[in-house]
């Protein structure tokens, strides 16, 4: 019996040794997150998102971002690389197939659907579904994770490359690495030129222009904050923190162009992830494990409204996550808020007061 126990112990030691000497897919930095804010005041728990209608439930796979055309038709990108349009009964029909993973999307003034495809780059899809690649690199560095966008009145497209190291299927590695690998850029359709406006961002995600288009907001998901980049005025070309220490992971952000931003938070803060962040060695070992063993995001639906001074003015929640969870986008159109999700099988349609 003692020999058997000794053998088992030796086998375990050997496996641990092999595991430790294996190279990790990440090279983590230490990061100490701020203490998560309490869910009080305007952030007090509510169930407002449970009132949302559900479109295409069970018929759509991961509608991460929502776009609405001039006729009020709803579009989204799916996990299998398609851009779909909802028919009047809510059934999705294929509008285009990028062969990648469509994320951020918005219609330009000419009726083209501009899409950030995480694998294919910045795309333009014409009214008949014809795809044109606009740009795939900036500063000699290819996009690894083309993510989110907004379009100004003059046609300039502002967009992000969330990480130049990790792709869409590796976004959790970016969380563990905790290094500034994201970029914020502009694309000029008139010249075809792509310009880097900000580098060294911590998972550069959602993009939204202000009402007067004098500044633009960029979400830094893994720092729980939003950065403001000034486009006009005496601060043009500079940036600052717009709001910090958010109660969850900020994903996409949109503007109603009337002084209000809608911010989708993928989930609330994760205490286990925050506790792990200051410890590079532990994060490097965690990255070697199957993702099924990593800390799980809480199934929670969360959207907040922000004014142009960086104040949270409203929150919409589903604490159960059973109706809507992992909300990654919130777009206002025609008195409704359309809600997308990276992994869910439905689009929310919430009637605004």
| 32 found inside a domain | no
| 29 found inside a domain | no
Task: Name the residue with tokens 């500063």.
Answer: 139
pLDDT, tens digit, for every residue of 58-91?
999 999 999 999 999 999 999 999 999 999 889 9
Say how many Å lie between the first and final Cα of the chain, rounded. 72
Domain of 183, in residue numbers: 41-351
What φ, ψ does residue 91 adopt, rounded to 5°?
-80, 130
pLDDT category, 2, cuts 50, 70, 90? low
pLDDT, tens digit, for every residue of 296-340?
889 999 999 999 999 999 999 999 999 999 999 999 999 999 999
Residue 173 has a pLDDT of: 95
Give the separation between CA 98 and CA 142, rounded to whole angstroms: 18
Per the document, the length of the chain is 353
pLDDT category, 127, cuts 50, 70, 90? very high
pLDDT category, 141, cuts 50, 70, 90? very high
Contacts of 90 (CB under 8 A, 6+ apart): 55, 56, 59
| 15 found inside a domain | no
Whole-angstrom Cα Rg for the chain: 21
CATH number at residue 58: 2.120.10.30
Residue 4 has a pLDDT of: 42
CB-side exposure of 71: number of CA atoms within 13 Å?
8
| 12 found inside a domain | no
pLDDT category, 138, cuts 50, 70, 90? very high
Q: What is the mean pLDDT of residues 9-27?
A: 59
| 171 found inside a domain | yes
Give the separation between CA 102 and CA 116, rounded to whole angstroms: 6
Contacts of 353 (CB under 8 A, 6+ apart): none
How many structural domains are present in the chain?
1
Residue 6 has a pLDDT of: 42
| 11 found inside a domain | no
pLDDT category, 292, cuts 50, 70, 90? confident
Quote the mean pLDDT of the chain.
94
Q: What is the DSSP letter of 233?
A: S
| 9 found inside a domain | no
| 168 found inside a domain | yes
pLDDT category, 22, cuts 50, 70, 90? confident
pLDDT, tens digit, for every residue of 217-226?
999 999 999 9
pLDDT, tens digit, for every residue of 154-207?
999 999 999 999 999 999 999 999 999 999 999 999 999 999 999 999 999 999
Q: 272 to each of 71, 269, 276, how far by Cα in Å? A: 45, 9, 6
pLDDT category, 1, cuts 50, 70, 90? low
pLDDT category, 20, cuts 50, 70, 90? low
Q: What is the mean pLDDT of residues 250-265?
A: 98
């Amino acid at each position: 019996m003692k020999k058997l126990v000794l053998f088992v112990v030796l086998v375990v030691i050997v496996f641990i040794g092999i595991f430790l000497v294996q190279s990790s897919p990440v090279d983590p930095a230490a990061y100490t997150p701020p203490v998560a804010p309490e869910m009080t005041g305007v952030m007090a728990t509510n169930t407002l998102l449970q009132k949302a209608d559900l479109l295409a439930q069970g018929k759509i796979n991961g509608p991460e971002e929502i776009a609405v055309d001039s006729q009020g038709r709803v579009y989204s990108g799916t996990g299998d690389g398609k851009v779909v349009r909802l028919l009047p009964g809510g059934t999705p029909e294929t509008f285009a197939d990028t062969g990648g993973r469509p994320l951020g999307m918005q219609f330009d003034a000419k009726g083209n659907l501009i899409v950030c495809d995480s694998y294919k780059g910045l795309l333009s899809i014409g009214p008949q579904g014809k795809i044109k690649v606009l740009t795939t690199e900036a500063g000699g560095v290819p996009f690894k994770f083309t993510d989110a966008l907004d379009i100004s009145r003059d046609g300039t497209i502002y967009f992000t490359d969330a990480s130049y190291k990790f792709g869409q299927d590796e976004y959790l590695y970016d969380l563990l690495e905790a290094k500034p690998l994201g970029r914020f850029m502009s694309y000029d359709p008139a010249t075809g030129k792509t310009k880097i406006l900000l580098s060294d961002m911590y998972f550069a995600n959602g993009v939204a222009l202000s009402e007067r288009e004098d500044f633009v907001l960029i979400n830094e998901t893994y720092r729980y904050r939003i950065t403001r980049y000034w486009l006009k005025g005496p601060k043009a070309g500079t940036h600052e923190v717009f709001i910090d220490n958010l109660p969850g992971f900020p994903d996409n952000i949109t503007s109603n162009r009337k002084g209000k931003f809608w911010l989708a938070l993928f989930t609330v803060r994760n205490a286990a992830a925050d506790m792990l962040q200051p410890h590079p060695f532990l994060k490097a070992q965690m990255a070697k494990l199957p993702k099924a063993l990593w800390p799980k995001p809480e199934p929670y639906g969360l959207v907040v409204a922000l004014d142009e001074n960086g104040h949270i003015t409203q929150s919409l929640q589903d604490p159960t996550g059973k109706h809507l969870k992992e909300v990654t986008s919130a777009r206002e159109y025609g008195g409704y808020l359309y809600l997308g999700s990276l992994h869910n099988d439905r689009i929310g349609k919430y009637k605004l007061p």
